[in-house]
Structure 1
Amino acid sequence: MNTVDLIYQETKDLPETEAREVLDFVEFLKAKRRRELESSAKSQHRESDLEKADMGEFDQFGSVYDGHFDRDACYDRPNLR
């Protein structure tokens, strides 16, 4: 027997009020799962947006920075004098 059959066997002889409780619990589990999936999808979407935004900020300076840091040139700017 699979799980669905076992649940049916266990619940078929329950009084109507208790069967309603089981049904309510099943609906609760389905709603909980749906909320978790939606939350996960939103989180993943938000993370990918942040990654794109972060990289976009660095990409605009990609052609300016050659990978070498010159401390003297950094501090030799008119607004720092």
Structure 2
Amino acid sequence: MMPTLADLICEETKTLAEAQALEVQDFIGHLKHKTGAAKPSDASAETAEADGDWAEFETLAGTWSGKFTRDACYDRPMLP
């Protein structure tokens, strides 16, 4: 039986270093997004994550008083 294209790609990626295999995975995601083939569940998961990040920002927004002196940063003891 002749191997499918997916099988050939899988076998080729097994010979790559981890970093290169991650690049291949990223490129596949890029192609799916570009052609609109990404799963809707993937998009909703990304949106939910972004909303969570934004919610965290909103809870901390306004905390900084706007007063900053660079010299005060150097007066603090170093963290252990």
What TM-score do you get using the length of structure 2 for normalisation? 0.42
Higher CA-based Rg: 1
Structure number with the higher helix fraction is: 1
What TM-score do you get using the length of structure 1 for normalisation? 0.41
